[in-house]
Amino acid sequence: MDEQLKQLGERLRGLRDALDVPMSEMAGIIGIDEEKYERIEKGELDITISNLMKIAHRYGMSVEELMFSETPHMKSYFVVRKGQGVAVERSKAYNYRSLVSGFRNHKSDVFLVTVEPKPSARIIYKNSHAGQEFNYVLEGKMMFYIGSKSILLEEGDSVYFDATESHGMLAVGDKAAKILTFSIE
């Protein structure tokens, strides 16, 4: 069992216990059945960043508190140097680096997302969450999927959308796509 998943599951169980929230409510927030949610708390099943965001926003906390058990401390400013940021690998499809993890009460989640090319990919990983999202392509190309639409985005292109719509992305070509992502509830 992956130690990171186990620790995350323990934090989710601790949150649920501290707030006296039934397992059915937590499962309902992220749209899965209780059995699957119980496997997440046991560290047997992974949870997506979008589902962590749903839980964090619902209970007034940061995603970082759930992922790393660390409360952000900075309240005036927070600097992230090039190549830094808290690494978050919550999905096999994408690699996230949080760019706001140390700022207390941040109003949006900001990530540098790297999508590695997968030439043989047939299934596009999609998710949805509350709020709106803005994606700006820093490097590479990606196919952006929202609902039944697919849009090619290249370096310098951006998309702003309703994040409750099912959405996902896939790097195009042989180079990773790097995207700056702002998620606002």
Burial class from Cβ neighbours inside 10 Å (0-12, 13-18, 19+) for residue 37 reads buried
Confidence of residue 108 (pLDDT cuts 50, 70, 90): confident
How many independent structural domains does the chain possess? 2
Q: For residue 133, is it within any domain?
A: yes
Residue 87: partners with Cβ closer than 8 Å, 6 or more residues away: 95, 96, 97
Domain end: 39, 68, 97, which one?
Answer: 68
| In the chain, % of residues over pLDDT 70 | 88
How does pLDDT run across 169-179, given as a tens digit for each residue? 999 988 999 99
Confidence of residue 185 (pLDDT cuts 50, 70, 90): confident
- Asked if residues 141 and 112 have their Cβ atoms less than 8 Å apart, the reply is no
Q: For residue 21, is it within any domain?
A: yes
Are residues 160 and 90 part of one domain? yes
Burial class from Cβ neighbours inside 10 Å (0-12, 13-18, 19+) for residue 65 reads middle
Q: Domain range spanning residue 59?
A: 3-68
Q: For residue 149, is it within any domain?
A: yes
For residues 8-13, average pLDDT? 84
Q: For residue 63, is it within any domain?
A: yes
Distance CA 4, CA 124 (A): 25
Q: What is the CATH number of the domain that holds 103?
A: 2.60.120.10
Q: What is the CATH number of the domain that holds 51?
A: 1.10.260.40
